[in-house]
Amino acid sequence: MTNMAIDIAEGMAYLHNKRLIHRDIACRNCLVGRDRVVKIGDFGLTREAKSNSPDGYYRFTRNCELPIRWMSPEAVQFGIFSVKSDLWSYGIVLYEMITFGVFPYEGLCDVEVVERVKRMEFSITDFLPIAAKDTPVYVLFRSIPSKLTFLFLRTFTWSIHSLPNTPHFLLELPVSNVVLQ
């Protein structure tokens, strides 16, 4: 699973190096090929980042259906998409992966998701499925609760400008030796 996450990060790095913002990074848009190599697909929402901005962003200006549960706070609130909003979506993809496909923010309607994402009022463990309550992932998240809450991010580290501009740092993570059969 770690290699799959790295494949997605490499695909994001490729897109971002081309100044493209995917805007819909989600497990449903990842294709698994031979040897479990994962490729990013569905480029229907992909846009080119503005070149006159150092961070490069795309401002959404028309009505259409958007993947609310995968969108970053600045995308939800202001319609601003960037490499950083794709990185937020990647975090949701990792959630999908560790929960084996649980729908993000399970149990909330889209309006509730929008309000909570805008205010960042929940912990990641609030939305783990009941079956995950006794798993090592849940125990890990609960053992460091203040570091893995959105309130913590907003209060102490939340600044869109302090987030990395590319997912390259993800490629330096150690690779697990767990093999899927």
Catalytic residue annotation = 24
Lookup result for tokens 């690779």 = 175
Neighbours of 7 (CB within 10 A): 18
Sorted by sequence, the CB contacts under 8 Å of residue 59 that are 6+ apart come out as 78, 79, 80, 81
Helix (H) or strand (E) holding 96: helix 83-98
Residues 6+ apart with CB under 8 A from 149: 122, 123, 124
Q: What is the CA radius of gyration of the chain?
A: 16
